[in-house]
Amino acid sequence: MIPVNVLTGFLGSGKTTLLRHILDDPAFAGCAVLINEFGEIGLDHHLLQAVDEDVVLMQSGCICCTIRGDLGRAIRGLYDRREAGTIPAFGRLIVETTGLADPIPILATVMSEPVIRHHFRLGNVIATVDAVNGAMQLDRQPEAAKQAAVADRILLTKTDLAAPEAVAALEARLTALNPAAPLWRSANAPPAAEILIGSDAFDPATKPAEIRRWFDLARWTGSAARHRHEHDVNRHDRSIAAFVLEVEGRVDWTVFGIWLTLLLHSRGDDVLRVKGLLHVAGVDTPVVVQGAQHIVHAPSHLDAWPDGDRRSRLVFITRGIARAEIEQSFAAFQAAFAEAAPTLA
C-alpha cells in the first residue's frame, strides 16, 4: 500500500518551500508528487527530463505530475504509468493542495474510491500556517481553519518575521483547534521529512508511537482550551472543537459501526476528523479507526495496546457539535441495543 501524504495550507504559508525541503531529503527520493502546475513549485533547476506533458522526472529521482481535472483520475493515471514501467516505481505519493482548497475531498478520494484504496493508503496531512498572517486568515477564511483542524502535523512558518507574543498566541489557538496534531515552529529550518511524512497511524513500523501521540497531545491544558474563547465570536475556528470520547468496557463492533455510520450520515459535514482506538469485544488487540466527514478508513489493528489504558478512545474534531452530544448519542445507542438484544436473540 502506497502512502498518500496531503500537504495543505493557506495561500503564501510556505507549502512549496516545505515540499522542496521534503523532496531534497535523499531518504524520500522515491516520491511522486501531484501538484496543480509545475511553475508553482519552482522545480526547474531540479528537472532531469520530461516524461510526457504532465510528468517530469527530477534529478533526485522524484516524479512530479500536474493535476488536470479529477484528482482520482490523476492518481490512477500515475499508478498506471508506474505499473507500465514508464516512470520509476515510486513508494510514496504527496498531494499538494491549492491554498484555498478544502483538504477533506482529497482524503475522501484516497479512502473511498475502490481502485485507489486497493493500492494506496492515507498517510499524514501536513498543514502550513503563516505566523505573520495566520491569525487573520483563521478569522476570515473558513478554509484556513479547516486545513489546520484536519491536519496530523502543523508547521508554523515565518516565525522569525512575527512578534514573539503573536507567535505564542497563534500557537495556543492552533493547539486548541487541533490538540492531537504536533506543532513545530519553522523559520528557515523545517523538521526532518521523516518526522513529517515518514511516520503515520497506518505504517506498521510507526503506528503505535503515532497513536500514543494522539492521546498524549489530546490532553491539552485548560489554558489552551480557554484561549479559543478570548477572540471575536465571528471567527471561523470558534465553532470547531476537539475532544476525546472515552468508553469503558469492550465495544460491540456492530453497534459501533452502525452508530458511526448514522452519525456520519446525519452530521458528517461537521465531523471533520475522528481517529482513535477501540477495545472491541472478542478481539484482544486494539482496532485503529480513522475517518473524515462522511468517509471512514478501513480499520487496522495494533499488535498490542500502546499503554496500560484499554478504554476505547476516539479523538473527535467537530464543527458545531459538542462533546456531550457525541457522548449522549453513543450511550443511548448502546443502551438501545442492549435492551433490544434479548428480543433479537
pTM for this one?
Answer: 0.79
Using the predicted structure, report yes or no on whether residue 82 has a pLDDT greater than 50: yes
pLDDT band at 300 (very low <50, low <70, confident <90, very high): confident
Q: Which three cell numbers stand for residue 123?
A: 498517510
More confident residue, 85 or 29: 85
Burial 305-338 (b: 16+ CB within 10 A, else e): ebeeeeebbbbbbbbebeeeebeebbeebbeebe
What per-residue confidence (pLDDT) applies to 297? Answer: 80
Using the predicted structure, report yes or no on whether residue 304 has a pLDDT greater than 50: yes
Using the predicted structure, report yes or no on whether residue 208 has a pLDDT greater than 90: no
What per-residue confidence (pLDDT) applies to 157? Answer: 94
Q: What is the average per-residue pLDDT within 157-163?
A: 93
Q: Which three cell numbers stand for residue 326?
A: 457525541
Q: What is the average per-residue pLDDT within 220-240?
A: 49
Percent of the chain whose predicted confidence (pLDDT) is above 90: 31
Average pLDDT value over all residues in the chain: 82
What per-residue confidence (pLDDT) applies to 127? Answer: 96
- pLDDT tens digits for range 112-125: 888 898 999 888 99
More confident residue, 126 or 87: 126
Window from 56-65, 83-92, 143-152 with minimum mean pLDDT: 56-65
Using the predicted structure, report yes or no on whether residue 126 has a pLDDT greater than 60: yes
What per-residue confidence (pLDDT) applies to 233? Answer: 39
Using the predicted structure, report yes or no on whether residue 285 has a pLDDT greater than 60: yes
pLDDT band at 343 (very low <50, low <70, confident <90, very high): low
Q: Which three cell numbers stand for residue 63?
A: 516524479
Q: What is the average per-residue pLDDT within 45-50?
A: 50
Q: Tell me which residue of 261, 295, 284, 7 sits closest to 155, measured CA to CA.
A: 7
Distance from the Cα of residue 246 to its chain's centroid = 21
Helix or strand holding residue 312 (H, E)? strand 312-319
Strand order of the β-sheet with 31-35 is: 47-50, 55-58, 63-66, 31-35, 92-96, 2-9, 120-130, 153-157, 183-186
Using the predicted structure, report yes or no on whether residue 39 has a pLDDT greater than 70: no
What per-residue confidence (pLDDT) applies to 69? Answer: 67
What per-residue confidence (pLDDT) applies to 252? Answer: 92
Is the distance from CB of 27 to CB of 198 less than 8 angstroms? yes
What per-residue confidence (pLDDT) applies to 83? Answer: 94
Using the predicted structure, report yes or no on whether residue 182 has a pLDDT greater than 70: yes
